[in-house]
Chain A
């Protein structure tokens, strides 16, 4: 099955910094989603991005399907960006989840 690897596993930044989170996957996919899980456990979908680039405010994502990776960019980090960021991909009907990147934004 598809393997999903996220890096880095942990990231600690000061408020205002920019960050790049990476998701590598082992096979072709037709579905890739980025999620944010806040410190209270709520999972929120950030992007549906099997290919191309999307932006939503301070967040943007790029997926290069031919090279099997996706990047999530967070600019001007805020403390509310803290939490775990998951990448989930699918080549058939089941989403395969990465282990996540834990992001801590210090004030």
Chain B
């Protein structure tokens, strides 16, 4: 099966500019996650979708970050305006089911290759 697709792989922008990242999850995966990973740290969940609804966006800086998953398939994460501290890798992941619920392989996360953002 095809993996989780992300684009672009790399992006360099000036502070205060905007950027958008795209993610296409594994076919049939209902749950989609966006994570931010700063160099040397573990992934930090930004937002979790179940189909096209938001399950958790408590750590999303909503004044500058937005995300959507309009048809319950692919998703876009936008940053506007970008700050220096937004420099990170943005990881998209998907799972068949939410983290809790159906157990076993249903809530195992599969990650894309990530989108590396550098803000100058």
Contact = CB atoms under 8 A, between A and B. Distances in A.
Interface of A: 30-31, 33, 35, 41-45, 48, 86, 88, 90, 92-95, 97-100
Interface of B: 41-45, 48, 55-56, 89, 91, 93, 98-100, 104-105, 107-111, 113-114, 116
A48 B41 CA distance: 22
How would you classify the secondary structure of chain B's contact residues: helix, strand, loop or mixed? mixed
B56 A100 contact: no
Q: Of B42, B43, B100, B107, which is in contact with the most chain A CB atoms at under 10 Å from its CB?
A: B42
Contact of B107 (A31, A35, A86, A99): A31
Given A31-B99, A43-B43, A43-B91, A95 B109 contact: yes
Contacts of A44: 111
B110 A45 contact: yes
Contacts, number: 55
A90 B48 CA distance: 14
Contacts of A92: 99-100
Given A86-B42, A94-B48, A95-B45, A42 B99 contact: no
Contacts of B111: 35, 42-45
A30 B108 contact: no
Given A92-B100, A93-B56, A93-B98, A45 B45 contact: no
